[in-house]
Amino acid sequence: MKKYILKRLVTTIFTLLVILLVLFILMHLMPGSPFNDEKLNSDQRAALYAKYGLDQPIVVQFFRYVVNMLHGDFGVSYNISKNTPISQLIQSRLPISMQIGGCAVALGAVVGLLLGLLAAFKHDTIWDTLATIISVIGVSVPSYVFALALSYQLGFKWGLFPMLYRADHAFDSAVMPSIALSMFTMASIARFTRSEMLEVLGSEYMLLAESKGLSGSSLIFKHALRNALIPIITVLAPLIVDLMTGSLVVEKIFAIPGVGSLLVNAIQSNDYNVVIALSFIYSAMYIFIMLIVDILYGIVDPRIRLAKEG
Amino acid sequence: MKRRLLAFIMTSAMALSLVGCGGYNQTNTQAAAPASDSAESASASDSSASGESAAGSSSDLNVMLETPVESLDPQQATDGTSFEVIADYTDGLMQMDSDGQAVNALAESYELSDDGLTYTFHIRDDANWSNGTPVTAADFVFGWQRAVDPEVASEYAYMLSDIGQIKNAAEIISGEKDKSELGVTAVDDKTLTVELNAPVSYFLSLMYFPTFYPVNEEFFNTCPDTYGTSPETTLSNGAFILDSYEPAATAFHLTKNADYYDAANVQLSGLNYQVIQDSQQALMSYQAGDLDLTLVNGEQVDQVKDDPAFKAVGAGYLWYVSPNIDSVPELNNLNIRKALTMAIDRDSITAGVLKDGSKPTYTAVPMDFAAGPDGSDFSADQDKFSDVCKFDSAAAADYWNKGLEELGIKSLELDMIVDADDAPQKVAQVLKEQWETTLPGFTVNLVIEPKKQRVKDMQDGNFQIGLTRWGPDYADPMTYLGMWVTNNSNNYGLWSNADYDSIIAECTTGDLATDAKARWSKLYDAEKIVMDEAVIFPLYTQCNAEMVNTNVSGIDFHPVALNRVYKAAKKN
Amino acid sequence: MEIRPLANTGEALENSSAPEYTPEAKDFCLRNSETIAIDNNFAAQSYWKEVVLRYVSKKSAMIGLFFIVLITVMAIIGPGMNDYSYSAQNLLQKNFAPRIPFLEGLGLFNGSETISTTTGFKTINYYAEQGLSDIYYWFGSDNFGRDIWTRTWSGARVSLIIAVAAAVIDMLIGMSYGLISGYFGGKVDIFMQRILEIANGIPRLVIVTLLLLVLKPGMVTIVIALMLTEWMSMSRIARAEMLKLKEEEFVLASRTLGAGSFFIIFKEILPNIIGPIITQVMFSIPTAIFTEAFLSFVGLGIPVPQCSLGSLISEGFNSFTTHPYQIIPPIIVMALLMLSFNLTADGLREALDPKLKER
């Protein structure tokens, strides 16, 4: 197992480098430039290109970027927040996105799991249908509509939570965005838990366990849930990364200083360094979480571990 | 089976509550970190636990911004939001009065030489930076040299060269001369002289433009890389002091500057800015009392139009359609262009779709930003070009058929590039509909692009029709008319007319530059050429629909340079 | 297996009169085959017929199917049911609340709406104000005076096409990729997973926006963009299922009998994991519709004035607090569509899965 993890870590670094290169190439393919303001003439644009070293060949830019990155320097923003070091931009924003995303994941996963289990155990009853309807609403109403509705009712009408993000009330401010964000996770998890649990409950080994006299929580947690968890984790993992790296719409509506809106603005205004840095953080998080998932597979399901070691 | 289920539900409910608590407790401690980071912001705002009232003491003005600040470096900033905030805490030589006229600010007095080429400014003695050092002429020299320094690569460098006509500015920008040769000199601590290449009639109105603001060299050198990224790296000489800010922050705060030379006339205790990108959320916050000043979207006007707090504020932008005259042969045909501009029902665009108070415009220079020698608005008369620019579907169809005949075609299909923003997309959809219903055989395909890409396509001439806008940089019609001269980088359609070029040259640097009246009437002649030739199809002068709380007064709204000035604002 | 050959052998027996006996094939058939009780019904039923029977017997699944069919039919005929077109504007008749013949007599949908303004509530009826007694916008009109009924169904049409295209591609590419990667394991798996990681590690938004910037925006571009990004989650599911199943005895048995990898993957394992796959496909449909809706939200969706359910929701969103009726029809259609896809998916999964047969 240790050897396996070590091997994965080495390949991870290689993968990240490839991703960085791909991102660089993508940025170069991107039409437009960061300095496409109406008021700039071509001489000024050339001067700006030279100032930021964008006039050099992509290979040179790439190596310079990697070297700088190893020193913790991700470059500066070209137009979202002019000349601000990216690390400074992200440092203050990423924790906020991660906090809200983390809450949303926890909320979505737990509620989704419960809904899914309820639906599976009460298969083909009104509970099942109800759980289905709840989770379907979760996936079919876009989060921004949901967010605004929440804000209108809980924030504006009832005054329970602040409508806009406030750093001095970080906890209160996080409640509504987390709920709005968790809907999709909740729905996905509920659906998958249901379908996986039905599968597991219908399997022979559950029948065996049941006929052996096992019952209650031991049956559910030791046998049923454990086997259903693999695909659930698989579904959950990328959702975690998506949520932790911020959501444009929810950030926009609740005025949250997170990284999701930063990425979209950066893409639309060709702020290369911001796009690359944020995408890279996303990639690193993604790959890291996938690594953990793969390790978890091994823990949850010994057969996979054996297969890998063999 | 039943017991098993019950047991399961119990356990899972427990699990939920455990995880739930764990999750939120953790959240709480995590949240403590950013909260303490912004303790400074919180200090200015005595916060109530329920989060109902907005941050800020009662006479802080709570202002909504649509976009975050891009830069607080006066020589790097280019957007209205940044300008507004920079001007909150920095004064230039001149500031804007409530009518948009330049009035003395840091300059106590000034003299203009008889040939109109040399300005001498005398800086007031009681002007100080917030770290205690006096504001000197050298601060202006340093700031202005930064503006033209190719290493700084300021996007607004042309304000000093092409527009301000400051001596040697153009040569420095192009790298031919050193920045020390710029035509600004600090004669002594309090005297600044500026040499111009040619008389510039609107030069004083440039002095309130943030690119011309002073920067203290000594302070700048303590934080050259991080200048303007935090309260610690900004220096104030204006009515307010920035006391909480982060790059691209969604909320920040300014406090009244007690040492400001004009502090007695500043009524507000501070400014509390909040960036809200969703206008419905902004309106709800306004209704909840968290904001005193907010923008509303055209769609919400139905909700607020009976409210005394609602007003339409001129934003200065002229929105227009630019046909690619040079490379699309069909658009090279004058009749086709006339047909296109006359088929547009501008009133229905502003009243029916935008609804934010924007004014239909039939002139190449928008309304309400440039007042002439007699004080009247350059574009007050909107009917003066009604023979070539008005809504007349019959005339449009006539021109259209004539044009098609000349070209020998039966139908025409063109692409129009449009920004992927809300208002342009709305306008474009109406244009498409109006053109296609009025002009038989005409098909317009809307190509929606992010703004940067749209601008690039237009700059590269890679378009057929483009929907675009232009905001005035200074209060003179030249900021618009100067665009249509041959080879101007904003003359996207590559239209060229020798008569026009000579009029503009005459009005910029020629004989007329000092004779305001004659220049004004010549500018009308120039505008007439643009309209007669249908070089652009003007659409409307943009206004913003704003809610200004009725207990707030004295905010100055301007269409040029500084959109909102709070120096005289009062909140009861 | 059919019974007719047996009947023929019966006749043959009666007619045989040869003295010398040579064993024939028919001798190895069952005796008294006519009289023993063979369940004609059961044997005559093919697997697929059974699937259909099982599916039809499930009420919720049939409701789901009914709505999918209904929405599909409406997406085809709905826009033609009145005289409005999806793009024709009438700026004099904008923001009209829904008004439906017959129902208006009951006080429902009579074209009046209550707007919550900053100065209190007010009720208006533009139809009455403008004296338009014979104008009906069944779902109301939007802020360009376009008929929301027509736009909702044309939007449903666009969204359905995008969703189905995405789901099919999703299934084909993602499933094969995941199954192959999971089955072969080892180096192949590591290599394929690295590619997936790289493709996945780049935020989807970056890829999609870039593609839309490079290609001309439109339905085909959106489908291509979805194709490039959506297959990945499917491949993850398929791989996870494969890892779970490939050590099972029946796979071993099949391999021992000499089955090739291709056969094992697609004939042995695939039918066993069709449940989660179909569930995932049904989820990739909302994801596809949503990705498109998100693109509309950032202004890169289906080009205006065309519309999709997603872009209609984004458009209606701007009037959410002013004219809420504008966002409701597309949301309801979207929710119904999602619900029916889910119910259908559940029904299909249970009908297809032989293990769940007895339940």
Query: Is the complex ipTM higher than 0.85?
Result: no
- Residue A233 in this model has a pLDDT that exceeds 60: yes
Extract the tokens encoding B389.
Answer: 């620019």
- Residue C25 in this model has a pLDDT that exceeds 80: no
| Strand (E) or helix (H) holding B194 | strand B191-195
A291 to chain B, any CB pair closer than 8 A? The answer is no
Omega before residue C305 within 30° of 0, cis: yes
CATH superfamily ID and name for B94-219:
Dipeptide-binding Protein; Domain 1 (3.90.76.10)
CA-CA distance, B206 to B560, in Å (whole number)?
A: 10
Q: Look at A304 and B288; give whichever has higher pLDDT.
A: B288
pLDDT for B231-269, tens place per residue?
999 999 999 999 999 888 889 999 999 999 999 999 899
Which residue does chain A place closest to B274, by CA atoms?
A255
Most confident option among B26-35, B171-180, B508-517, C277-286: B171-180
Helix axes C274-297, C219-245, angle to 10 degrees: 150
- Please count the other Cβ atoms lying within 10 Å of the Cβ belonging to residue C339: 23
pLDDT at C33: 60
C252 to chain A, any CB pair closer than 8 A? The answer is no
Contacts of B548 (CB under 8 A, 6+ apart): B292, B293, B309, B311, B555
- Overall fold of domain B314-543: Dipeptide-binding Protein; domain 3 (3.10.105)
User: First vs last Cα of chain B: how many Å apart?
Assistant: 69
Q: Do B281 and A254 touch (CB under 8 A)?
A: yes
Confidence of residue B64 (pLDDT cuts 50, 70, 90): very high
Percentage with pLDDT > 70 across chain C: 86
Query: Could you give the count of Cα atoms lying within 13 Å of C51 in the half-sphere of its Cβ?
Result: 14
- Overall fold of domain C48-83+148-358: MetI-like fold (1.10.3720)
Q: Look at B512 and A94; give whichever has higher pLDDT.
A: A94
pLDDT at A305: 52
Mean pLDDT throughout A179-189? 87
Extract the tokens encoding B543.
Answer: 């206004």
Contacts of A11 (CB under 8 A, 6+ apart): C190, C194
Q: Do C299 and B425 touch (CB under 8 A)?
A: yes
pLDDT for A4-20, tens place per residue?
778 878 888 888 888 88
pLDDT at B57: 55
CA-CA distance, B349 to B427, in Å (whole number)?
A: 7
Residue A16 Cα, gap to closest chain B Cα (Å): 28
pLDDT at C258: 81
The three-class DSSP label of residue B447 is strand
Extract the tokens encoding A210.
Answer: 């049941």
pLDDT for C189-234, tens place per residue?
888 888 887 888 888 778 887 787 777 777 888 888 888 877 887 8
Q: Residue A267: which of C335, C209, B12 has the closest Cα?
A: C209
Instruction: List CB contacts (< 8 A) between C60 and chain A.
Output: 124, 129
Spatial contact of B569 and B552, defined as CB atoms under 8 Å apart = yes
Q: Look at C110 and B568; give whichever has higher pLDDT.
A: B568
User: Token match 């809980």: residue?
Assistant: A154
C313 to chain A, any CB pair closer than 8 A? The answer is yes
Those of residues 76-115 in A touching chain C at CB distance below 8 A are none
Spatial contact of C248 and C131, defined as CB atoms under 8 Å apart = no
CA-CA distance, C193 to B476, in Å (whole number)?
A: 62
Burial of residue B421 (CB within 10 Å: 0-12, 13-18, 19+) is middle
Percentage with pLDDT > 70 across chain B: 90
| Strand (E) or helix (H) holding C283 | helix C274-297
Hey, where are the domains in chain B? 34-89+225-290+550-571, 94-219, 314-543
Q: Do B280 and C87 touch (CB under 8 A)?
A: no
pLDDT for B213-236, tens place per residue?
999 999 999 988 889 888 999 999
Spatial contact of C309 and C154, defined as CB atoms under 8 Å apart = no
Mean pLDDT throughout C273-289? 75
Amino acid in position C347? G
pLDDT at B21: 35
CA-CA distance, C144 to C92, in Å (whole number)?
A: 9
Angle C90-C93-C99 (CA atoms, 0-180°, nearest 5)?
A: 125
B13 to chain C, any CB pair closer than 8 A? The answer is no
Mean pLDDT throughout B205-214? 92
pLDDT at B37: 38
Residue B126 Cα, gap to closest chain A Cα (Å): 32
Contacts of A58 (CB under 8 A, 6+ apart): A24, A25, A28
pLDDT at B188: 92
pLDDT at C10: 44
- Residue A145 in this model has a pLDDT that exceeds 70: yes
Q: Residue B354: which of B299, B317, B294, B304 has the closest Cα?
A: B299
Architecture of the structural domain at B34-89+225-290+550-571: 3-Layer(aba) Sandwich (3.40)
pLDDT at A217: 67
Residue A299 Cα, gap to closest chain C Cα (Å): 13
Mean pLDDT throughout B398-405? 93
pLDDT for C87-139, tens place per residue?
888 888 888 888 888 887 777 778 788 887 777 788 888 888 888 878 888 88
- Residue B406 in this model has a pLDDT that exceeds 90: yes
Picking from A123, A263, A283, the nearest residue to C205 by CB comes out as A263
pLDDT at C40: 53
Q: Do A148 and C317 touch (CB under 8 A)?
A: yes
pLDDT at C39: 53
CA-CA distance, A166 to A12, in Å (whole number)?
A: 37
pLDDT at C12: 46
Instruction: List CB contacts (< 8 A) between C321 and chain B.
Output: 280, 283-284, 300, 303
Confidence of residue C19 (pLDDT cuts 50, 70, 90): low
CA-CA distance, C308 to C285, in Å (whole number)?
A: 14
CA-CA distance, A261 to B483, in Å (whole number)?
A: 34
pLDDT at B106: 93
Amino acid in position A41? N
CA-CA distance, A242 to A219, in Å (whole number)?
A: 33
Least confident span in A133-137, B29-33, B270-274: B29-33
CA-CA distance, C296 to C310, in Å (whole number)?
A: 7
Average pLDDT, chain C: 79
CA-CA distance, B531 to B535, in Å (whole number)?
A: 7
Residue C11 Cα, gap to closest chain A Cα (Å): 46
CA-CA distance, A151 to A256, in Å (whole number)?
A: 13
pLDDT at B109: 93
pLDDT at C154: 92
Q: Do B429 and C305 touch (CB under 8 A)?
A: yes
pLDDT at B48: 35
Mean pLDDT throughout A46-60? 84
Confidence of residue C3 (pLDDT cuts 50, 70, 90): very low
Percent of chain B as helix, strand, coil, to the nearest 5? 35, 20, 40
Mean pLDDT throughout C56-82? 88
**Pairing label, strands B412-419, B442-449:** parallel
B303 to chain C, any CB pair closer than 8 A? The answer is yes
Picking from C115, C118, C217, the nearest residue to B448 by CB comes out as C217
- Residue B425 in this model has a pLDDT that exceeds 80: yes
> Start-end ranges of CATH 1.10.3720.10 in chain C?
48-83+148-358
Q: Residue B127: which of B213, B52, B58, B187 has the closest Cα?
A: B213
Q: Does residue B243 come out as left (phi exceeding 0), alpha (psi in the -120 to 50 range) or beta?
A: alpha
Instruction: List CB contacts (< 8 A) between A217 and chain B.
Output: 7-8, 11
pTM here is 0.82
Extract the tokens encoding B367.
Answer: 């309304």
Residue to mutate among B310, B448, B462, B550, with most C CBs inside 10 A, is: B448
Confidence of residue A36 (pLDDT cuts 50, 70, 90): low
Query: Could you give the count of Cα atoms lying within 13 Å of B224 in the half-sphere of its Cβ?
Result: 6
Q: Residue B316: which of B379, B372, B255 has the closest Cα?
A: B379
Burial of residue A210 (CB within 10 Å: 0-12, 13-18, 19+) is middle
Spatial contact of B191 and B121, defined as CB atoms under 8 Å apart = yes
A259 to chain B, any CB pair closer than 8 A? The answer is no
Confidence of residue B123 (pLDDT cuts 50, 70, 90): very high
pLDDT for B292-319, tens place per residue?
999 988 888 888 888 899 988 888 899 9
CA-CA distance, A245 to C203, in Å (whole number)?
A: 10
pLDDT at B10: 40
